[in-house]
Amino acid sequence: MRKLLLIILLAFNTLTAKENALALETSPYLKRHAHNPVNWHAWNQESLALAKKQDKAIFLSIGYSTCHWCHVMEEESFEKKDVAEVLNRYFIAIKVDKEELPHIDKKYQNLFRAYKGSRGGWPLSVFLTPDLKPFYITGYMPRESMGGVEDILTLTTRLGKLYGEKKRLQKALKVFDETLHAKKRHTKPSQKSLDLKALIKTTMQHLTAEYDKENSGFGTGRTKFPESSKIELLLNIYKTTGDKKAFEMAKQTLLTMSKRGIFDQIDGGFFRYSGKDWTIPHFQKLLYVNAQMPLPYLEFYRLTGEKYYHDIAKMTIDEIERRYTDNGLYISASDSISKEGDEGVYYLYHHDRVLKALLEKGFTKEEAEDILAYLGIEEFGNYDGEDSHVTIAQEGEIPAKLQAVKKILQEIRSCRDFPLLDKKIITAWNAMMIKALYTLGMYDRHYLSLAEKRLKTLQERMFRDGTLYHQTIANKAPKQEALLEDYAYLIDTLLTAHQVTLNESYLALASQLAHKAKALFLREGTWYMNTSTPKVKADFDDKYYSSALSVLLNSFVILANLNDDFTLLQESEKVLKKEVSILEDKPQESASLVTLALRLKVGDITLKAPISALKKEQKEFLKIRYPFILRHAHHHDTYMACKLGLCFASAKHFEAIYRAIDKAKEEIDVKPKKIIWGQ
């Protein structure tokens, strides 16, 4: 009864609390802060102008709906009147949803990394002058001081007063200014040469150094992310050189992730990240993770024919279809926290309760115990207290009744409240997911039909009157115009749609959007993430999902091969030549850029034939092992194999052209050459 009264009281307080400006926003993350006593504003010209008008510093807080520590800081601090009083007195407080404004997040994450020497995270807390000059940056600010870290009240009061003390403020501003200038000095273009063999050798050295031999995956820290672009790069290196080490690293990473707790063994889908052994995850499911992860699994299936990898991709896609669709499109994420307020509770199981349920279903105690042991559901728990998260704990033979047990575990979950959802619809992330549908659709026509349906809906909702938009929520017309990532990923998906269906309209639209993206986001030789002020430079970091610019430049090369569009090819070559230093110093952080470099040096091969022949030989086409292979319908009655407008082989029968392409693969030259990228 007491708990019920508390819930009613909290609901009443929420309903009667004074709303701030975030109540007018569409972002679920911003709206959840609308009843905070902090006088929050959204990031817009009006808010920035208000800071200048009132001569107040800006407190910029960046996060997202399913961010655990963002929730913690809200509950500890932003819902408290004493913290709100300090923030409202000294600052214009601005809240940013990083998924809504990824370029603003990128700008200040880059600042954090330059200043602190390590990656930041969320929440990100930035203190700025009204003209957006930073004078302090940090992440989560604790309610109580700990380990020498100032508590939020002490810190914000100190920084609020600092803004009024101009001499001390200038010193703080100078530190950040020098940091940014130092970063620019260290990112000058390299003038060195880099050949294909050197590129592959350097990349493999870096990937091997980061590879976890015990648990697979990459990184030596406490957490691991399922980085699809690195796995795809390893498979591209394997297809280019036959490097068995690249193949094994990719295989072991895919296999280990699929068997441990980073993958939801019961419903399917990948969690955002986990501990280094992949067993206990942070229980968020994000759309972009589950859109990109099926691709290396399906590529591994294509290369090996091992259906297990196909099934992991299918299970992932099925989970997104089941839980994360709204009016024909995909929503952004689910939280780690359910309505009960506990981390991961939806996904966890208590050994004794599950054992009882299995016995009631007719399992013998021995059968039940064996399967629970296999699934890692332990008597004393593997998570917090006596609860267990499902992870394949044993190697060896799969229990005969495993699927029946999984169905019972699904039924147990179905009685629980599903975690909170962020129902934001993002064009780039939807495009990623639709690409996964098309790729799976090469093997199962049901998913091809679904891909066609989803792509049509995405275009109708987010591409209106010639304008592409970035994000919205269901039943709301989009207002925020598209960013570079929306163009990049939609073009990528349209090209995949063309390759799978051979529908020329997809190719035409991809070409149209590619040239529009170039016109919008390329300024005086520099690519930007956005068109508004402040403009933020696009980079090649693949940490969370593949760099939009790398994805776009790879699409430019594909369009050059299919349309003989050499202006797009030249732009990809120009950027790559400018960024040789990334390929030399940290190729593992920019796997998609390395793939672009491989693609340009090895060259795409386009298989041309009548559309009827291409459709007839689709299964055989999938067996071709050339690393970058395309297909395009033409009106001649022969098969032709072409590289950038120059056809090097023709044949009346597919078997002969297959042999010609196979020979071209054997002739890929990985011997050192004195070649500068772009020449």
394 with 510, same domain: the answer is no
Enumerate the β-bridge partners of residue 523: 526
53 assigned to some structural domain: yes
What is the per-residue pLDDT for 192? 59
366 with 389, same domain: the answer is yes
CB 156 within 8 A of CB 90: yes
> Would you say residue 669 has pLDDT above 90?
no
What average pLDDT does the chain have?
Answer: 91
Please write the tens of the pLDDT for every residue from 252-287.
Answer: 999 999 999 999 999 999 999 999 999 999 999 999
> Would you say residue 488 has pLDDT above 90?
yes
CA distance 390 to 377: 6
Name the band, by pLDDT with cuts 50, 70 and 90, for residue 307. Answer: very high
What is the per-residue pLDDT for 191? 54
68 assigned to some structural domain: yes
pLDDT (average), residues 51-64: 97
What is the per-residue pLDDT for 310? 98
What is the per-residue pLDDT for 13? 42
What is the per-residue pLDDT for 278? 95
89 assigned to some structural domain: yes
pLDDT (average), residues 300-322: 97
Beta-strand ranges (E) seen in 221-351 are 223-224, 273-275, 281-282, 285-286, 325-326, 329-330, 333-334, 348-350
CB 393 within 8 A of CB 354: no
Give the count of beta carbons closer than 10 Å to the beta carbon of residue 78: 21
626 assigned to some structural domain: yes
673 assigned to some structural domain: no
Q: Report CA torsion sign: 186, 192, 195, 201.
A: negative
CA distance 500 to 434: 12
Residue 102: cis peptide before it, omega within 30 degrees of 0: no
Q: Which domain holds residue 634?
A: 604-666
261 with 375, same domain: the answer is no
DSSP 3-state of 653: coil
Enumerate the β-bridge partners of residue 329: 326
> Would you say residue 219 has pLDDT above 80?
yes
| β pairing state of 605-609 and 629-633 | parallel
* Paired tokens of 389: 């998260």
Domain boundary among 556, 586, 601: 601
675 assigned to some structural domain: no
What is the per-residue pLDDT for 677? 32
Give the count of beta carbons closer than 10 Å to the beta carbon of residue 585: 14
CB 496 within 8 A of CB 438: yes
CB 571 within 8 A of CB 553: yes
Poorest-pLDDT segment among 190-199, 333-342, 609-618: 190-199
CA distance 595 to 24: 43
35 with 72, same domain: the answer is yes
pLDDT (average), residues 352-360: 94
> Would you say residue 356 has pLDDT above 50?
yes
Poorest-pLDDT segment among 11-25, 146-160, 171-185, 430-444: 11-25
Task: Look up residue 149 and give its DSSP letter.
Answer: B
Please count the structural domains in the chain. Answer: 4
CATH number for position 482:
1.50.10.10
431 with 520, same domain: the answer is yes
pTM for this model (two decimals): 0.93
99 assigned to some structural domain: yes
203 with 171, same domain: the answer is no
CATH number for position 130:
3.40.30.10
pLDDT (average), residues 484-508: 98
> Would you say residue 109 has pLDDT above 90?
yes
CA contacts within 13 A on the Cβ side of 48: 10
pLDDT (average), residues 103-117: 93
Closest CA to 538 of 491, 577, 575: 575
CA distance 489 to 463: 13
288 with 169, same domain: the answer is no
Cα-based torsion angle of the residue sequence 417, 422, 423, 426 in order, rounded to the nearest 10 degrees: -150
Please write the tens of the pLDDT for every residue from 136-176.
Answer: 999 999 999 887 789 999 999 999 999 999 899 999 999 88
515 with 438, same domain: the answer is yes
Closest CA to 341 of 279, 452, 419: 419
Q: In the chain, pLDDT over 70 holds for what percent of residues?
A: 94
331 with 269, same domain: the answer is yes
Please write the tens of the pLDDT for every residue from 583-639.
Answer: 988 999 999 999 999 999 999 999 999 999 999 999 999 999 999 999 999 999 999
370 with 411, same domain: the answer is yes
User: Which residues have C-beta within 8 Å of that of residue 364, sequence separation ≥ 6?
Assistant: none
Angle subtended at Cα 32 by Cα 30 and Cα 38, rounded to the nearest 5 degrees? 80
Closest CA to 485 of 462, 502, 503, 452: 462
CB 454 within 8 A of CB 434: yes
Domain boundary among 150, 166, 185: 185
What is the per-residue pLDDT for 159? 97
* Paired tokens of 468: 């592409």
632 assigned to some structural domain: yes
CA distance 539 to 122: 20
Residue ranges in 522-590 assigned as alpha helix (H): 548-563, 566-578, 580-585
Please write the tens of the pLDDT for every residue from 20-50.
Answer: 999 999 999 999 999 999 999 999 999 999 9
CB 143 within 8 A of CB 77: yes
Closest CA to 430 of 409, 459, 396, 401: 459
DSSP 3-state of 531: coil
469 with 529, same domain: the answer is yes
Lookup result for tokens 């993002």: 426
Q: What are the angstrom distances between the C-alpha of 156 and each of 53, 72, 151, 153, 459?
A: 21, 17, 9, 5, 45
Element (H, E) at 511: helix 504-521
Q: Within its chain, how far is the Cα of 48 from the centroid?
A: 29
> Would you say residue 675 has pLDDT above 90?
no
What is the per-residue pLDDT for 6? 33
Write 30-36 long-range contacts (CB < 8 A, 24+): 30/95, 30/97, 30/100, 32/65, 32/74, 33/74, 33/78, 33/95, 36/74, 36/78, 36/79, 36/84
301 with 380, same domain: the answer is no
Domain boundary among 557, 580, 601: 601
Residue with more model confidence, 625 or 558: 558
